[in-house]
């Protein structure tokens, strides 16, 4: 079995060289020494094994709302770190048990809400990498690590993956345990992964997801549904034109494509999702905010105050609306004969500047429904920035989604 200690210096050299500009990682003065010790301990723990564990020696970036033993959790905030301490996250337990090394904490928007960190898009440093899992997406896109962990409440895995030109996978809500992760909105929050390709995401999913099953063999390509209506029209002209090219490539590759009228009530879906999100974020910060309000950035504080204004009855009504939408999603797919949905992963390419993380509007309904989603790099905008194709499935169909996305990835590679 190879010794991962031999790779840690190269890893740290790479991070030192590339992260001066990209700023994907939270600063860690003793990263090299810590990684050498972690690699040596990992090698010793598995020295008697006849085969390498599935993620052996792979360096992983971990979003800084996910607790890691030996590293402080700051959540992109000035709130004192000692207020945010807790047990190591289950997802990190699983990574380390599978032989992975924690390369470091990656930058997050403050408390994974809206206030962006300093990370820049590796494809063009003048543009946003997306959010809130900005550092995780950028670390993979820049080639610093081949796997990173993020979270998605609305669009914080799929959107930055699309902006940075990597694969992002958001499982069905609850498939990866969130214990040890600082909440944003608990009934929406989902741990996800970033990788250079679908194969890398699949390898991580098999380790991290509860009850992962080997994908079955399929004798026909999946039928791809396009959700026509006001939702799809939220993408800009450039993203829609690229999406239509992607649809043509998929059809040419033998994938049946069906246009399905869906989400005529999209504005109401957006409104109800907002109520759920803001109500829950306010409750998550019910203890911290009164004590540490002076440390919060204005975007985060504003979201919490909005949540204070949501009545309990309106929140409960929004939860009922979400349950109805979750039931409607697979029913609509069955009626249309669609196996998967396809759509733009973001309303356009990464915006210029890092004052905003861009819009999550194309990711919102699938997160609201708790459905799995995956984005693959699929095209380039006129300015050369990546554009992603988002593929989603019915809740619980993660194995099917990932298995079929390998062929989709090949068909749309731009």
Lookup: tokens for 385: 């920035």
d(CA 334, CA 385): 36
Bond from prior residue into 132 cis (ω within 30 degrees of 0): yes
Lookup: tokens for 346: 């973001």
pLDDT tens digits in sequence order for the chain, 414 residues long: 666 665 899 999 999 999 999 999 999 999 999 999 999 999 999 887 778 899 999 999 999 999 999 999 999 999 999 999 999 999 999 999 999 999 999 999 999 999 999 999 999 999 999 999 999 999 999 999 999 999 999 999 999 999 999 999 999 999 999 999 999 999 999 999 999 999 999 999 999 999 999 877 888 999 999 999 999 999 999 999 999 999 999 999 999 999 999 999 999 999 999 999 999 999 999 999 999 999 999 999 999 999 999 999 999 999 999 999 999 999 999 999 999 999 999 999 999 999 999 999 999 999 999 999 999 999 999 999 999 999 999 999 999 999 999 999 999 985
| Gyration radius (Cα) of the chain, Å | 20
Report CA-CA distances (Å) from 397 to 207, 225, 270, 391. 16, 15, 24, 12
Active-site residue set: 63, 132, 156
Q: 384: closest CA among 167, 26, 125, 153?
A: 125
Q: Which residues touch 237 (CB under 8 Å, ≥6 apart)?
A: none
Lookup: tokens for 83: 């207020």
């Amino acid at each position: 079995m190879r010794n991962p200690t031999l790779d840690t210096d190269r890893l740290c050299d790479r991070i030192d060289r590339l992260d001066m500009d990209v700023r994907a990682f939270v600063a860690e003065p003793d990263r090299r020494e810590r990684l050498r010790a972690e690699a040596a301990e990992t090698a010793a723990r598995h020295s008697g094994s006849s085969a390498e564990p599935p993620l052996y020696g792979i360096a992983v970036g971990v979003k800084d709302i996910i607790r890691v033993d030996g590293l402080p959790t700051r959540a992109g905030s000035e709130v004192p770190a000692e207020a945010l301490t807790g047990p190591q996250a289950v997802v990190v337990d699983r990574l380390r048990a599978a032989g992975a090394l924690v390369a470091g904490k990656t930058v997050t928007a403050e408390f994974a809400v809206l206030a962006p960190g300093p990370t820049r898009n590796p494809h063009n440093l003048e543009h946003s990498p997306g959010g809130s899992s900005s550092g995780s997406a950028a670390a993979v896109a820049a080639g610093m690590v081949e796997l990173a962990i993020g979270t998605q409440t609305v669009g914080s895995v799929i959107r930055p993956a699309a902006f940075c030109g990597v694969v992002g996978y958001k499982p069905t809500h609850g498939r990866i345990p969130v214990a040890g992760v600082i909440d944003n909105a608990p009934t929406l929050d989902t741990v996800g992964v970033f990788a250079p390709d679908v194969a890398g995401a699949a390898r991580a999913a098999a380790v991290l997801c509860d009850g992962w099953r080997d994908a079955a063999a399929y004798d026909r390509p999946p039928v791809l549904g396009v959700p026509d209506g006001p939702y799809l029209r939220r993408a800009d002209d450039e993203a829609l034109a690229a999406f239509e090219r992607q649809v043509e490539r998929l059809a040419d590759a033998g994938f049946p494509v069906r246009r399905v009228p869906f989400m005529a009530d999209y504005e109401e879906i957006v409104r109800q999702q907002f109520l759920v999100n803001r109500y829950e974020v306010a409750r998550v910060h019910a203890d911290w905010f009164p004590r540490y309000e002076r440390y919060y950035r204005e975007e985060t504080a504003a979201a919490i105050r909005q949540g204070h204004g949501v009545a309990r009855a309106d929140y409960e009504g929004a939860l009922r609306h979400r349950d109805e939408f979750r039931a409607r999603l697979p029913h609509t797919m069955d009626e249309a004969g669609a196996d998967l949905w396809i759509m733009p992963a973001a309303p356009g390419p990464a915006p210029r500047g890092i004052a905003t993380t861009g819009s999550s509007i194309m990711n919102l309904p699938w997160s609201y429904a708790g459905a799995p989603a995956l984005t693959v790099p699929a095209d380039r905008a006129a300015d050369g920035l990546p554009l992603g194709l988002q593929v989603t499935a019915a809740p619980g169909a993660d194995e099917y989604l990932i298995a079929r996305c390998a062929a989709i990835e090949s068909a749309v590679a731009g």
